Structure 1
């Protein structure tokens, strides 16, 4: 989940000056892999501002001559597509093994307007580098790893919440199979990431997320549900992020349920009208979906976020992420080795 002040402040390039970094909530690695020295330096500099130990703690990590070995999770590619529920669980487990990124630097530059074939390349890079990921990266990775699962529909669900004066944005991937709904995703909070395929309606899933937000005193003021994503990783169509947009604060639970269920019905109708297909994808001859009509779409909504604490009770802050990030020298000397071959620890 991304914390933002109105909007994520992204650096125009990876060679920017460090001046003014106190206003940046997180940086994005735009230089690709292997990660450049300037990006490593910027990551450590930003982490020193986030960690209570400050520069002394970060410098101790950077100058350490030894690093603990980190296991590299194996991506669940291939296998049987008949048991969708089991495959979804395996995909979520893999993303949890990658861990949530607390470093303050997003390692993969995800642009939402890119077509699916480009997003698939980003997902392959995440698997290769095996680095911690944030919520948007998890959606792209979840789409790629669930391609080809018979009868499984996937579409994005985005939130924007307010806590105090800060705006938070978050996004998960809704999965629908055999009339049941669940979600794949990553978050600092366990109940704001994945949901099992146990919900009998899309509105029940959405309300469960909103109630989880309420537990952390977050007010969800924007909610956005997209349309199903093609199962063809080579498709040139983009992901449709904005099918329905509503403000839950301006409607009661009954009105919210009606709006969400109307969109769910539109999705089912849309899927049935897809060529060569039944109500569920993938399709044997065509895995793309017809272009949706956005006549019911309300004003634009941006992606939302969750709280500040990490998911496991034994670790918080930057520790989970940074335990999987290698040192720059190791990465540069072996660019084809996953980036988490070595690790360092940061405790907050």
Structure 2
């Protein structure tokens, strides 16, 4: 991302400025505040006087009290998974969508999960209006620890009136049921309840694609990543692009087959992660950014085998990898830094 000396940076689609990103931190600096209000007037010139009147009266408005984030929802045994996701989605919606034209938080998707979760805590502390990516990070944070829940990104690239837009939601899978968490201007482009309606990943994706069509958007690209580890302090990065589909260029049957294929890949990965049942399967996958398109991928995973002399393998690696803490029993060894004798790569 290019650096800026004016405190904010425009995000463009061609020659059109979609919004600005605040680079000065919080509280919002005077120059970012001025740019935010000026941009609003530029977007709605017919309402300039009304916008100016609202700005002049900002100090008169009462402060808004927000409830605490539902930090304790994930480990609560009295709630079903569907109820937990509903409470998390309700909290995200209470923060409201950011229509100001100024993104308040400086986000970097390439940071490790630990850094992204620090940003998520900051967002929840400030309780400012947010957009889809901030909602995505909050959803990851609050769903961490829900046993049996797999989380993955679903990223959309669409076009409307020659302007390209991007959107992201957190896809979730519990058992054989799919759903989604997120925030959007349109309700049907965000939350998808875990109510049994989506028994296949392709059904969930088709629902989003149809919603975009209803609003006149052409879906150019959809990217789906690998499952995200349930560890707020992990130094792994999120694999954003395990599979890419182009609904406007690909027959529906073909891309549904690709979506079902990535689910089979997850299942194969789960088999080889069983010896570390206390760690999410994503923790044994190094982010590579490769696109899953070859039909032989499950066979590649089946061909992997673990080293028979596991203890000797760890001894060989101790001289090169600094371990934090190791516990050993009769069957296996577990390292908190997630150094593995065998890495599964996709």
Q: TM-score over 0.5 for the alignment?
A: yes
Alignment partner of 2:180: what SS? strand
Q: 1:30, 1:153 → 2: CA distance?
A: 33
Structure-2 change in CA distance of 1:289 and 1:146 (3 Å): farther
In structure 1, the residue matched to 2:60 is 66
1:11 and 1:27 in contact (8 A); partners too: no
Q: 1:135, 1:109 → 2: CA distance?
A: 14
Give per-residue Cα distances to partners, 1:301-339, cap 9 Å, x unaligned.
xxxxxxxxxxxxxxxxxxxxxxxxxxxxxxxxxxxxxxx
User: Do residues 216 (structure 1) and 210 (structure 2) align?
Assistant: no
Q: 1:16, 1:212 → 2: CA distance?
A: 33
User: Do residues 77 (structure 1) and 77 (structure 2) align?
Assistant: no
Structure-2 change in CA distance of 1:165 and 1:275 (3 Å): same
Q: 2:8, 2:29 → 1: CA distance?
A: 13
In structure 2, the residue matched to 1:35 is 28
Q: 1:241, 1:220 → 2: CA distance?
A: 18
1:270 and 1:292 in contact (8 A); partners too: no
Which of the residues 283, 286, 299 maps onto 1:291? Answer: 286
Q: How does 1:294-309 map to 2 (within 5 A)?
A: 295-297=290-292
Structure-2 change in CA distance of 1:180 and 1:16 (3 Å): closer
In structure 1, the residue matched to 2:234 is 235
Alignment partner of 1:111: what SS? coil
Q: How does 1:6-17 map to 2 (within 5 A)?
A: 12-15=4-7
Q: 1:217, 1:16 → 2: CA distance?
A: 31
In structure 2, the residue matched to 1:128 is 125
Structure-2 change in CA distance of 1:267 and 1:284 (3 Å): closer
Report the CA distance between 1:172 and its aligned residue: 0.6
Alignment partner of 1:250: what SS? coil
Name structure 2 gaps, 5 residues minimum.
294-346
Which of the residues 17, 33, 40 maps onto 1:47? Answer: 40
Q: How does 1:193-208 map to 2 (within 5 A)?
A: 193-197=190-194, 198=196, 199-208=198-207
Which of the residues 99, 103, 106 maps onto 1:106? Answer: 103
2:8 and 2:24 in contact (8 A); partners too: no
Report the CA distance between 1:296 and its aligned residue: 3.9
Report the CA distance between 1:48 and its aligned residue: 1.5
Structure-2 change in CA distance of 1:103 and 1:17 (3 Å): closer
With the length of structure 1 as denominator, give the TM-score of the two structures: 0.75
Q: 1:264, 1:63 → 2: CA distance?
A: 54
Give per-residue Cα distances to partners, 1:35-80, cap 9 Å, x unaligned.
2111111111111112355432222122214104423132010143
Q: 2:140, 2:209 → 1: CA distance?
A: 23
User: Do residues 139 (structure 1) and 136 (structure 2) align?
Assistant: yes
Report the CA distance between 1:288 and its aligned residue: 2.4
User: Do residues 176 (structure 1) and 173 (structure 2) align?
Assistant: yes
Alignment partner of 2:244: what SS? strand
1:116 and 1:238 in contact (8 A); partners too: yes
Name structure 1 gaps, 5 residues minimum.
1-8, 299-348
With the length of structure 2 as denominator, give the TM-score of the two structures: 0.76
Q: 2:9, 2:279 → 1: CA distance?
A: 52
Determine which structure has greater relative contact order: mean sequence separation of CA pairs < 8 Å that are 6+ residues apart, divided by chain length: 1
Root-mean-square deviation (CA), in Å?
Answer: 2.5
More helix by percentage: 2
In structure 1, the residue matched to 2:225 is 226
Q: 1:102, 1:207 → 2: CA distance?
A: 27
Report the CA distance between 1:277 and its aligned residue: 4.2
